[in-house]
Amino acid sequence: MALVATADFITPPVNDPFTYGQIAAANAISDIYAMGGRPLTCLNLVAFPSKKLAPEILHGIVAGAVAKITEAGAVLVGGHTIEDEEPKFGLAVNGIVHPDRIWTNAGARGGDVLVLTKPVGSGVLFNANIKGWVSGEALTECIAHLTTLNRVACETLQRFEVHAVTDVTGFGLAGHAFEMAQASQVSIVLHMDRLPVMRDALEMYRRGVNTGVNPHNRRMVQDYLRMDGDWPSRHQEILFDPQTSGGLLAAVERETADALVDALRASGVHAACRVGEILTLPTDGDIQLRIV
């Protein structure tokens, strides 16, 4: 078996310590699932202002993380804590995967279909929630998505022939799709009207809320991006919305894509859907990300 490892470190998107720990752990462990692996051990990575916040807050964060680590079938074996002005928490995660079955973002092939397992929009929702604009239902649904491990999605994908996988996190859907296109030397088409979007997310963009990361994510792909159709700004911005603990984006054979989506939904991954397809690289050699 091959050993795979990853580390993620985030600042709190929520005020509840336990929930924050859950989100941080799910976010960190996701990288192991994106490689087709099984997490084994985790190390805490903590930055904490002990003179400003009570120790109970840190205890709650760690408890939330342990809950998700245990759910993943892994164990917490230690960690490291430093003093900082702002609380930050993450995990270094070790896992295993068969060396012949490691997923990367570099194997997408022309004719493949792209399947996404979670909706997007968490970045703008958390910013809008600071203003008190997000409904309780939308925030509850968002947190439920973020605290959900990608374990079931990974295990379901393992039953199919998968050519490339990435998890959708800070670069947004467009950024991570572009990375797959670049690594695989293909072009990717995303269908705007098929994208699963979290409740209230488009409305928050319509009302003028944004994130500090959206412009960076747009710049990352703009030289290779083509927008077909007159999509409103709110729809465009959702492509660049930075995700925390986002879903898996998988390139699979067209013939099995519908069966995969059905299997994912039957396993409880209800947001799973086909969001695009892979095209062979254009003759001019440009790597393109096309939105239709």
Q: How many CB atoms lie within 10 A of CB 180?
A: 26
Residue type, 158: Q
Classify residue 166 as exposed, middle or buried by CB count within 10 Å of its CB (0-12, 13-18, 19+): buried
What distance in Å separates the CA atoms of residue 212 and residue 136, rounded to the nearest whole number? 24
Distance CA 41, CA 74 (A): 5
Place of tokens 């973020």: 146
218 C-beta neighbours (distance < 10 Å), count: 17
Please, are residues 74 and 108 in contact by the beta-carbon 8 Å criterion? no
Cβ distance 93 to 32 under 8 Å? Answer: yes
**d(C-alpha 158, C-alpha 146), whole Å:** 22
Report d(CA 173, CA 222) in Å as an integer.
Answer: 14
Residue 14: per-residue pLDDT: 77
Instruction: Quote the tokens at residue 217.
Output: 């994510």
Burial of 64-76, coded b for 16+ CB within 10 Å and e otherwise, reads: bbbebbebbebeb
**Rounded Cα–Cα distance for residues 93 and 30 (Å):** 10
- Judge contact between 184 and 277, C-beta under 8 A: no
Express as a percent the part of the chain with pLDDT over 90: 91
List domains and CATH numbers for the chain: 2-97 (3.30.1330.10), 113-291 (3.90.650.10)
pLDDT of 8 > 90? The answer is no
For 218-244, the pLDDT digits (tens) are: 999 999 999 998 999 999 999 999 999
How confident is the model at residue 210, as a pLDDT?
A: 97
Tens digit of pLDDT for each residue in 105-135?
999 999 999 999 999 999 999 999 999 999 9
pLDDT number for residue 229: 86
